[in-house]
Amino acid sequence: MRFKDVFSIIGPSMTGPSSSHTAGAARLGRIARQWLGCTPDRARLTLYGSFADTYQGHGTDLALIGGLLDYVTDDPRIPDAEQYAEEAGMEVEFYTSGLPAPHPNTVKIELWHGERACSLIGASIGGGSVSVHAMNDFRVQISGEFPTLVLRHADKAGVLASVTSTISSSGVNIGYMQVDRKARDGEALTAMEMDGVPNPDMLKRLRSLDHVLDIRVIDLKRGVDSDAL
């Protein structure tokens, strides 16, 4: 089933005018912000397909900026997001590209905060739903519908076994999991959509595991920056 429940039909509550161009864009911006873990100093957004063609009329740019500021889809500040970004000291640049993309409504988001940086490619697939295809050049497939753990770790035997056993001992079920690596023995990234919310104790235990470099929580319902956890 493409649409899973009643609230994928009625909802989300959102700032108009387009569920794909506005609500979906805000969610993609928010996922990128949570991937970075804090408010970025600088953001570079490249728009593809229909996003590139019609983003200004739909306020897609404002919704993306709103998402980067951690605004939910119906935050009344979205129409004035440019001003709030300036107040937050966030510098934003937009680019368009005519290159083919995985979906007509695709955006590539690159963020910086001090020494920290991250990138993400995602698409708005209709009715406010989104799909993230890549994070820091690793392939992923996450929807943002569920609390999601994203782990950067070394590509070593046994890392995933200790990660999943730590999660299972916390009593949280993993609904979907994807692993990708840069090279054999290089850096790897694992994205896990969970049925429950990752708790601080679980995150602490995961962080202490060998070869785990970093953990981020993507959670559109709660929206907590990982630094605070």
Partner 1 sequence: MRFKHLHELNTICTAESKTIAQLMIEEQVQETNTPEADVVQQMSEYYQVMKEAVRKGLMEDTTSRSGLTGGDGKKMAEYIRKGETCSGDASALAMAYALCVSEVNASMGRIVATPTAGSCGIIPGVFISSQERFGWTDEHLVNGLFCAGAIGYVIANNSFISGAEGGCQAEVGSAIGMAAGAMVELRGGTPEQVVHAVGLALKNTLGLICDPVAGLVEIPCIVRNGLGAVTALAAADMALAGVRSAIPSDEVIDVMLEVGSAMPSRHRETAQGGLAQTPTGRKMMQKLAKPKAKRAEPDTETQGSNTTDANTTVSEADTDSQG
Interacting residue ranges for partner 1, rule: CB under 8 A = 1-20, 22-23, 46-48, 50, 52-54, 56-59, 61-62, 74, 76, 78-79, 93-99, 101-102, 104, 106, 108, 110, 112, 115-119, 121, 126-128, 133-134, 136-137, 139, 195
Nearest approach, Cβ of residue 21 and partner 1 (Å):
8
Cα end-to-end span (Å), the chain:
34
58 vs 153 by CB, closer to partner 1: 58
Q: Which residue bears the tokens 């319902």?
A: 221
Rounded Cα gap, residues 19 and 31, in angstroms = 17
β-bridge pairing 42-48 and 91-97 = parallel
Q: Give ∠ CA 199-116-35 in degrees, rounded to 5.
A: 40
Nearest approach, Cβ of residue 66 and partner 1 (Å):
11
Q: Give strand pairing partners of 124.
A: 130
Contact 156, 211 (CB under 8 A): yes
Nearest approach, Cβ of residue 120 and partner 1 (Å):
9
Q: Is residue 215 within a helix (H) or strand (E), and if so which, with residue range?
A: strand 212-218
20 vs 148 by CB, closer to partner 1: 20
Rounded Cα gap, residues 135 and 179, in angstroms = 12
Nearest approach, Cβ of residue 178 and partner 1 (Å):
13
150 vs 205 by CB, closer to partner 1: 150
Nearest approach, Cβ of residue 161 and partner 1 (Å):
26
22 vs 34 by CB, closer to partner 1: 22
133 vs 205 by CB, closer to partner 1: 133
